[in-house]
Homo-oligomer: A and B are copies of this chain.
Amino acid sequence: MKKSDKHQKILNAAIKVFGQKGFFNARISDIAKEADVADGTIYLYFNNKYDILLTLFEEEIGKLIVEIKAAISQKTDQREMLYVFALHHLRLVIEKKELAEVLQMELRQSGESIKEYRLNKFADYVNIISEIIHTGQENNIFRRDLQAGIIKRAFFGALDEMSRLWILNPNHTYTLEESAEEISDIFLNGIVAD
């Protein structure tokens, strides 16, 4: 087994364990067991428990950014892009449930390095929205009397709250598609210039 394989194997185990028990309740031995590896092996690949979490943010969010950008680049109309973002984001939450749980829970923690993540890496993800908004405003598709920064947060927050519902209550009351459609609808009819 190659070194990189074991690195990813441990990360995948960590996503699962952190997702189920939360960072603080997760034991290194849980992750080791899940990864089918000795406790000590983890320290050959990561500096400490917290480093696993940060690496997880770094690498996994990076993958999400690549994926969602690819999906959006299929569209040229900013209204459609917003819908595609919503659809894709919610789909990711369902497909990568455990990762979504980790991000939901742990990105809210206090602690300076986490805050920096919110301000850096994670911001990159959310800023995909503000780029769409900004371009849409330049093209006069979206109202210019609203601040892109506020729209961005409102839109992402709306999606994030739907995700939370699914994570906490797995019997989905609303389907992926209707959620993405209705949220986009609410926002578009709010931000599209008459």
Residues of A within 8 A of B (CB): 19-22, 24-25, 101, 104-105, 108-111, 115, 118-119, 146-147, 149-151, 153-162, 164-165, 168-169, 173-174, 178-179, 182-183, 185-191
Contact = CB atoms under 8 A, between A and B. Distances in A.
- This chain: how many copies in the complex? 2
Interface of A is mostly: helix
B168 A149 contact: no
A98 B25 CA distance: 23
Nearest to A160: B157
A174 B186 contact: no
Nearest to A116: B168
Contacts of A115: 168
